[in-house]
Amino acid sequence: MNAVVKQTFFIAGTDTDVGKTVVSAALLQAAKQQKNLATLAIKPIAAGCEQTPDGLRNEDALTLSKWASVKLDYQQINPITLKAAVSPHIAAARENKNLSADRVVGYCRGAMMNRFDLCLVEGAGGWLAPIGPRETMADIAKGLGQPVILVVGIRLGCLNHALLTAQAIQRDGLKIAAWVANIVDVDMLAVEENIATLQRMLPAPMLGVIPYMSEVSIDEAAQHIDINKLLNTV
């Protein structure tokens, strides 16, 4: 294991379905391929889980498990499993579960006791996605206190979503370490101009642009990530 780096980042998205998991997996693979880092990944809350012989499982959490080099039990990767693919607070209420940011942070810190060089904690939904009556994903990120990697889904409206999310992250007292552009709309106009605007206006370096992929390939996505830019932010 490389002893140069031991760093944790919170993965936030500008919205739901912007490719947080694809970007997270690409970061894990890029860290392994480019720097031979030992990588760990956590998806503490997952809404949209399917019943399997091994229990409830979430596709995003399974993807993170596949691409992280440090292998954990599923319960450590995804301690809170919710059946309905809706906002976590709604899914939890349907199952009579009470989610607590402090408890989620505790689960994450437990997983982080494993040895790693690079750890990614992937949020659910956007920055202010509710997890309960008064708490949001932001409360989990604040409890962890780690720098944030912002995943920007490049589609119509991404400028406003990205800038508002960046403003909210900074207002909550956290550092935006870097961001990744993930093209999710193949028909979007002025893609290069939108990305150039974000490069000027977001307060962090861009790690790369992941092109639109009709069939997702994490190996291909990883080729578009410059992991050195991330390590230079710590």
Q: Which two tokens stand for residue 117?
A: 């060089």
3-class DSSP state for residue 87? coil
CB 152, CB 180: distance < 8 Å: yes
Is 43 an annotated catalytic residue?
A: yes
- Assign 1 a pLDDT band (cuts: 50, 70, 90): very low
Question: 183: which strand partners?
Answer: 154
Pick the CATH number of 7-231 from 3.40.640.10, 3.40.50.620, 3.40.50.300, 3.40.50.11890: 3.40.50.300
pLDDT digits 0-9 by tens, 104-143: 999 999 999 999 999 999 999 999 999 999 999 999 999 9
| Domain range summary for the chain, segments of one domain joined by + | 7-231
**pTM, entire model:** 0.96
- CA 147, CA 169: separation in Å to the nearest integer? 10
Catalytic entry in 20, 32, 35, 43:
43
- Work out the pLDDT band at 232, boundaries 50, 70, 90: confident
Query: What's the gap between Cα 56 and its chain centre?
Result: 20
pLDDT recorded at residue 83: 97
